[in-house]
Each structure stands twice: as structure tokens, then as C-alpha cells.
Amino acid sequence: MASETRMLFRHLDDPELRTLEGYRSRGGYAALERAFQELEPEELLNELEGSGLRGRGGAGFSMGKKAGFLPRGDMEKYLCCNADESEPGTFKDRELMHKNPHQLVEGCLIASLAAGARYGFIFIRGEYSEIADVLDAAVAEAYEAGYAGQNILGSGCDVDLVVHRGAGAYICGEETALLDSLEGKRGNPRLKPPFPAIQGLYDGPTLINNVETLANVPHIVRNGAEWFKGFGTEGSPGTKVVSVSGCVRRPGNYEIELGIPSRELIEGLAGGTPEGRTLKCWFPGGSSSPVLTEAELDLPYTFEDMAEAGSMLGSGAIIVADSSVSIPELALRTARFYHHESCGKCTPCREGTNWTVKMLERVVRGEATPMDLDIIASVQENIIGNCLCVLGDSMAMPVGSMVAKFRSEFEEAIELARASDEVAVHAVGPAAASASQPGGTGREAEDAAGGVPEDVAGGVPL
């Protein structure tokens, strides 16, 4: 049976880990002491780049290279930790912050030193109020111990760290919308270029990384880049915390070495689908990733293998749909979420998500035709790559993949819904059936009955 490889999750269930003393007793802040007292910023940056650590928030870009993009000089620079964990199916960062907050705090402080950032911000989603309190307490302890603030450990380096609560908007998980929100504006994505590494928070160079990415930093600095590359694969080194949910027997967070077969993760660790059901499709990287089928279960769970299969590892959230799930209904729920969360700033996303929802509603009501499925697919193609940020793509990629891989199920759903409506019409009459449809008022049924219905309680015409 598959087993976990715990690095970030080591000692995670020990309640003492949440405190400064508990964290230090398990080697905590040893990496920060080495970084601030023994290493130059360039050496630190080289160590991070040499580790091959890739971003764990979605894009999978090299963390060290990203930090290296920030210009050197005396200008004010910033670090932002993206803790706005809003991707459906993703709940790994919540557990990392709640049970081991000092790991993140230490990672933010070390990354700030590597990037030359004077100020660091942890932008946490508004719904994580309890976890934000835990982080506030951890940051306060770090200040009291001399790990944050001015002249850290006598190094002459200053780094201030702030926990900032968001207001609960999915769009603020997009890095430039996050920056606008931090500045007190409405969270809207910015046009790029310029990229945040050149002109980010308050127009200064800014390094933005995910919670899990920054939580890896202390382990790399303490143990070395070569040690870190001993886990995972050449192209996807290290471990990955994967949130598994949906139609599995043991949903939860699992920390695994990148490169294990996806089947071991879904069927081994998460227990597979309930008895009597079979896997129909799975999202390998949260709800925004194109779906894969049972045929791809034996692929290694890595950034490159998921990309070669036509999907992406993304945030590392696997959502499993089994034979009991209607793919057209799943596509509609996915589209509705992204339509609701669209900021509306750019036309392809604003109009594309709206059109997709309306077309999929026609499918599940039995009002669509096979030609409508071609239109849905075409709309997704026109959205991808044409938006200010990736929110539009986040809907278009999974919906487009579902239509492409399960077209016959969409066609069958249309026919079944249409046949069901025809049965209803024959059973109760056309007027009553019309009234039962979305948007029906009941006036047709009143006319058919030859009168106006009355309020039973008061006898008042409606």
C-alpha cells in the first residue's frame, strides 16, 4: 500500500508544534539562524534556485528564479505570501497554517532576505479567521524572539511581517488582484507586463509565492539543495501536499513524493471510489484543471506528466468523480462557480462564463442540440489565453475537456431531459408543464383551467 513521505507534515498532529518553543524543539528556526548569520543573500538565492523548488500554488514556476527576477538596489521591495486558498477542492494550506504556523513564518522571513524585501505580507482569505488568529500569534512570538523586526539576530537586516485578512473574493488569489486588495483597492487583475517582480505592491518589486512553496524554504536552507532534490523527480523535486476529495473513501491531505503513480494516491492513500462504483474522471490540480480519465491513473503525479496528459498539477488538489456523477451537471456547477467569481473586468471572461452557464443549463433542461455542444466547445477555445488573468481559463479548460471526453454523455443527457419533458407534457398537459419550467408563471395553467386562482387563506385573487 502507498505511504506518505512527510516533510512539511512531520510532527503535524503534535499540538505543541503550534507554539514557538514546540517548533524550536523540533529544529525550527535553525534555518533562519543559518540564513541571517552565515549566508549572504546571493548564496541563499543560489541555494533556493539550485533546489529546483517549483511553485506549489498553481503555475509550478521555479521559486528561486522568480526571486532572482527582482532587481537589486536600494528601492523598497516586498514579499507577499498568497494564503488566499480559494480553489475548489484545495484545503492543504489551511492545515499547514493552522497546525504549523511557524514553518510558514520562518519561510517568509528567509525568502524576504533572499529577495532583499524589507516588508512581508501574508494575505489570508477572510473565511480563515481562526487560522489568521493563529498566524498573528506566531508572528508575535517571532518578533518577541528576535526572529522578525529590526536587526534580526544581530545581522543588521530588518524584515517586518504582517498578516492581512482578505474579504473572501476568489479573484484575489490571482497575484495582481491580491496586490490591489493589499493596497486597499477592489481586487481586480492588472494588465501584465509589468510583472510583479518589477512593479508590484506599491509599484515596488514584489515576490509572490504560495503558502506551501514558502513552507519548503526552511527545509532547503537547513538541509541543502541536494538533499531536497533527493525527493521526487528531476523535473519535479520534493514532496507535495495533495488535497484529495470527491468520490473517495478517505478524503484528506496527503504528503507524497512527486512522481508516485496517481493510482497509488487515489486508490491507495485515499481508498478509491465507494464499493460498487467506478472512477469516471478526476481533476488532478483543482477544479480549474482539465479532467483526466481512468486511462491516465497510472501516470506519475508530476508537473510534467500532468502537462503531457493535457492537464496540469496546479494547486495539487485531486477531485474524483465516480460513475454516480453526471458530467453535464458537474460541468454546470463548475461553470457557475467561475461565472459567480468573475470580476467582470475583461470581456472574454465576463461574457464567456455567462454564455457557458446558459448553454449548459440548456443541456441539462433538454433544450440543447448537438450543435450547441460545438458552440460550447468553441466558446471555451475563445476564452483560453484571451483574458487578463487565468480565471476565464480556469472555467474553460475543465468544461472544454469534459465536453471533449464525455460528449456522448452530454448528448444522452439532452435526450433524457427532452424525453422526460415530453412525458410530463402528456401527463399533465402543455400548460401545466410550461408552468413547471424555469421562468414559468403559472398563467398558462390558469387560462387552461378557465379562471383565476384564489388565495386559499383569504380568497384574494393573485
CATH superfamily of 15-229: NADH-ubiquinone oxidoreductase 51kDa subunit (3.40.50.11540)
Task: Please list the residue range(s) of the chain that carry CATH number 3.40.50.11540.
Answer: 15-229
Res 60: pLDDT: 83
Task: Show the DSSP H helices in 155-246 as ranges.
Answer: 175-182, 211-223, 225-229
pLDDT tens sequence across 27-39: 999 999 999 999 9
Res 59: pLDDT: 81
Measuring CA to CA, which residue among 161, 188, 171 is closest to residue 81? 161
Res 262: pLDDT: 96
Res 428: pLDDT: 62
Using alpha carbons only, give the angle 417, 281, 307 rounded to the nearest 5 degrees. 130
Res 447: pLDDT: 42
Q: Does domain 239-322 sit in CATH 3.10.20.600?
A: yes
Give the Cβ contact number of residue 263 at 10 Å: 17
Query: In angstroms, rounded to a whole number, what is the distance separating the alpha carbons of residues 142 and 206?
Result: 23
Task: Please list the residue range(s) of the chain that carry CATH number 1.20.1440.230.
Answer: 326-449
Task: Please list the residue range(s) of the chain that carry CATH number 3.10.20.600.
Answer: 239-322
Measuring CA to CA, which residue among 378, 279, 267 is closest to residue 327? 279
The per-residue pLDDT string of the chain (462 residues; one tens digit each, 9 = 90 and over) reads 578 999 999 999 999 999 999 999 999 999 999 999 999 999 999 999 999 999 998 888 899 899 989 998 889 999 999 999 999 999 999 999 999 999 999 999 999 999 999 999 999 999 999 999 999 999 999 999 999 999 999 999 999 999 999 988 899 999 999 999 999 999 999 989 999 999 999 999 999 999 999 999 999 999 999 999 999 999 999 999 999 999 999 999 999 999 999 999 999 999 999 999 999 999 999 999 999 999 999 999 999 999 999 999 998 999 999 999 999 999 999 999 999 999 999 999 999 999 999 999 999 999 999 899 999 999 999 999 999 999 999 999 999 999 999 999 999 999 988 887 666 666 666 555 555 555 454 444 444 444 433 333 333 333
Indicate the CATH number for domain 326-449: 1.20.1440.230
371-380's contacts with Cβ under 8 Å and 24+ in sequence apart are: 373/403, 373/407, 373/410, 373/411, 376/403, 377/403, 377/404, 379/352, 379/355, 380/352, 380/356
**Which pTM value belongs to this model?**
0.88
